Chain A
Amino acid sequence: MDAFADTALFTLLVAMLGGAIRVSTPFMFVALGECLTEKSGRINLGLEGNLVLGAMIAYAISFHTGSPWTGVLAAGLSGLFLGAIHGYVCKLPRVNDIAVGIAMMAFGTGLAFYLGKPYIQPSAPRLEAIPLGEWTGIPSLAQALAINPLFFVGIALAVGMSWFFRNTRMGLVVRTTGDSAPAAKAMGVSVDLVRFLATAAGGFLAGVGGSFLSLSYPGSWNEGLSSGQGLMAVALVIFARWDPIRCVWAALLFGAAGAIGPAMQAIGVTQGFYFFNAAPYILTLLIMASSARSRFSGRDAPGELSIVK
């Protein structure tokens, strides 16, 4: 075991394991938020904006209050704010939800860059990770297994959301709204209200995902913090076929792809750093090309969704 622990392969695998867990957490939250919104029959492409604004707000609040968890909550509220705007604007007749998503992405990142200027320098208290790997006695493995509590919150949320969709009346209402608005109306449900609430709640989750970026990994606020994770999460939800549990697995897969670049650096391969960094985007594109028109995807997609038509 000790001999294996010294090999480059072991270092690479451990770095990828740790990286997958770290990188996947924001994916997980954004994907779960998007999953909730899409289940109600609306698409929100603007979660990238929620992610960036959430990261900035979490960092600023954590800096001022000294409590990172207050920062997480504030990030969620900022996401709720953006989600509510998206939900309200899309409720108006003749408004295209995909275009509004692009606009909200521009608005959210613009607001974050504007408000975030003073917070690029100072350092705020970060979320403490739970050391789960001390028993192994291998420092690199212990480091990889120091897992942020938000990761477990995300998994619990996925399980809870899956249960919510399957076993509760509210879950049924959301699913019906997403599959057939006329059927929901016949049930006496306000389609607009359900979609508004689902979009706002989805925005909240994406904001929490953003807080992980600034408070845990990479762990500081700057303008290059997120590069498309919010949009990749939308692709991830399609790949996961609108199932919260599958969203977790897909997030881990995307996390592993995102961890290839830093992991290769850890074993001293610096050549092609940018190429490895592009891996998650290429993976997303390939997955979408192979799954977008599959039989399963058509069966599981909410019927009202504009993006799969």
Chain B
Amino acid sequence: MAETAAAIPKSAPRARAAGPRLGPAAEVVCIVALALIASAILFSLFLLVIGASPITFFQLVWLGGFGTAFSFQNTLQRAAPLILTGLAFAIPARIGLTMIGAEGALVIGGFASAAIAIPLVTSGAPPVLTLAIMASAAMIAGGLWTALAGWLRHARGVNETISSLLLTYIAIAIMFFFVEGALRDPGSANRPSTLPIGRETMIGDIPGTSVHWGLLVGIALAGALWVLMSRTTFGFAARLTGGNPRAALAQGLPVGTLIVACAAIAGACAGLAGFFEVAAVHGQANAALVAGYGFTGILVAFLARQNPLAVVPVAILFGALAAAGGLVQRRMDLPDASVLVLQGIIFVVLLASETLYGRAKIFRPAEEGR
């Protein structure tokens, strides 16, 4: 990256930071809040049409997501993979890639970690070494998987949105091919799975809670990636490429390398989510890995406006929604897919709200007033 650093004028980031920064931030918060309120109203109308009470619904979501210590821990447990898959969408988005393949990278990463664990566990390797190898395998597998979509984009001009989704289906097929074939544990009769890694190898919970370590790793990674994207030459070059690829090329930036690198970081994040699903939740790879975390992560990243730090609270919000799903199902007799409907409404309204940016005068910095 040395030649890249030389190509960028040193004053460029500072010049952007000079203006008042509260204005745009307040605008983002206001518009996102407005979008969430509008979604809640639309979903309430939907509930009223089908004869359910919106008030009960939101009370139950609060109760099931944050109401008790138990439910909050359940929320955090579900937020952990969402932080990682949210990052997996947000990082490539900064360089202008719309990659929706986190689900596939999660599955292939989780599967790779479970597969590599089989010889290690049977030969009695120490748990710490096994876990380290498993995590590396998951990140490498996931990273290579999405790097392929990034490379296809750069080298062949293949639309990355479509290719990353196709790779997701291929990843799921690969996992089932092995889990129901060569790597199937004969003991798993009803639900074909790989050999369990065993309780002594599995990552425990954060002491004093029932939340696994994936949450803290996710938060730390969100912080690290924020620094990478906002405070380093690499991040600046990536954002410049996202804003104007031709200008980046003209500046002599290694656009191809940047694109593939951002795609690989995304896959590594999602692969890590798969690793935690295997090493902390299920103990083996099976159909439970295909749980839709990758797809919810897209929505998380959009709501966080592709900011790695904002991904964390948004992921917790959606973790709460998922955690409350069971309670809503039992108490109100609504199918668990009602959460999917709510997510879909939030998603569409949120994207429609993009049109509001720059319209209200009060958010504009004084110098820029046109």
Known A95-B351, A107-B341; contact A285-B167, beta-carbon cutoff 8 A: yes
Evaluate contact between A95 and B173: CB separation under 8 angstroms.
no
* A interface footprint on B128-168 (CB within 8 Å = 1, 0 otherwise): 00000000000000000000000010001111011101110
A132 to chain B minimum Cβ distance, whole angstroms, is: 33
Evaluate contact between A278 and B162: CB separation under 8 angstroms.
no
- Stretch from A13-21, A23-31, A86-94, A177-185 that touches the partner: A86-94
Evaluate contact between A94 and B357: CB separation under 8 angstroms.
yes
Binding site for B on A (CB under 8 A): 45, 85, 89, 92-96, 98-100, 102-104, 106-111, 113-114, 117, 227-228, 231-232, 234-235, 238, 271-272, 274-275, 277-278, 281-282, 284-285, 288-290, 292-293, 307-308
Collect the chain B residues with CB atoms within 8 Å of residue A93's CB.
Answer: 355
A107 to B302, CA, bound (A): 15
A88 to chain B minimum Cβ distance, whole angstroms, is: 9
Evaluate contact between A235 and B166: CB separation under 8 angstroms.
yes
A236 to B186, CA, bound (A): 41
A107 to B299, CA, bound (A): 11
B357 to chain A minimum Cβ distance, whole angstroms, is: 6
Q: Does B70 contact A (CB under 8 A)?
A: no
Collect the chain B residues with CB atoms within 8 Å of residue A235's CB.
Answer: 159, 162, 166
Collect the chain A residues with CB atoms within 8 Å of residue B344's CB.
Answer: 103-104, 106-111
A96 to B348, CA, bound (A): 11
Evaluate contact between B159 and A288: CB separation under 8 angstroms.
yes
Known A107-B341, A275-B177, A289-B152; contact A102-B355, beta-carbon cutoff 8 A: no
A-B contact pairs, 23 of them (CB 8 A): A93-B355, A95-B352, A95-B354, A102-B98, A103-B344, A104-B348, A106-B299, A107-B345, A107-B348, A108-B344, A114-B341, A228-B169, A231-B162, A231-B165, A231-B166, A238-B159, A274-B177, A274-B181, A281-B173, A285-B158, A288-B159, A288-B162, A290-B156
Collect the chain A residues with CB atoms within 8 Å of residue B340's CB.
Answer: 106, 109-110, 113-114
Q: Does B295 contact A (CB under 8 A)?
A: yes
A285 to B298, CA, bound (A): 22
A227 to B290, CA, bound (A): 13
Q: Does B234 contact A (CB under 8 A)?
A: no
A279 to chain B minimum Cβ distance, whole angstroms, is: 9
Collect the chain A residues with CB atoms within 8 Å of residue B173's CB.
Answer: 274-275, 277-278, 281
Binding site for A on B (CB under 8 A): 98, 100, 152, 156-159, 161-163, 165-167, 169-170, 173-174, 176-177, 180-181, 295, 298-299, 302, 335, 337-338, 340-345, 347-348, 350-352, 354-355, 357-358
Evaluate contact between B158 and A281: CB separation under 8 angstroms.
no
Q: What 5 pairs across the A-B complex have the smallest Cβ distances? A: A107-B344, A110-B340, A278-B173, A113-B337, A103-B347
A99 to B161, CA, bound (A): 10
Collect the chain B residues with CB atoms within 8 Å of residue A271's CB.
Answer: 181
Q: Which residue of B lies closest to A109 (CB)?
A: B340
Collect the chain B residues with CB atoms within 8 Å of residue A106's CB.
Answer: 295, 298-299, 340, 343-344, 347
Evaluate contact between B354 and A288: CB separation under 8 angstroms.
no
Evaluate contact between B158 and A94: CB separation under 8 angstroms.
no
Known A99-B98, A102-B298; contact A307-B159, beta-carbon cutoff 8 A: yes
* Selected contact of B335 from candidates A117, A284, A288, CB within 8 Å: A117
Collect the chain A residues with CB atoms within 8 Å of residue B169's CB.
Answer: 227-228, 278, 281
Evaluate contact between B337 and A103: CB separation under 8 angstroms.
no
Collect the chain B residues with CB atoms within 8 Å of residue A285's CB.
Answer: 152, 158, 163, 166-167, 170
Given contacts A281-B173, A288-B159, 4 further A-B contacts (CB under 8 A): A92-B352, A106-B295, A111-B344, A285-B163
Evaluate contact between A292 and B156: CB separation under 8 angstroms.
yes
Collect the chain B residues with CB atoms within 8 Å of residue A99's CB.
Answer: 98, 302, 351
A282 to B343, CA, bound (A): 30
Collect the chain B residues with CB atoms within 8 Å of residue A281's CB.
Answer: 166-167, 169-170, 173
A90 to chain B minimum Cβ distance, whole angstroms, is: 9
Known A111-B344, A281-B173; contact A89-B165, beta-carbon cutoff 8 A: no
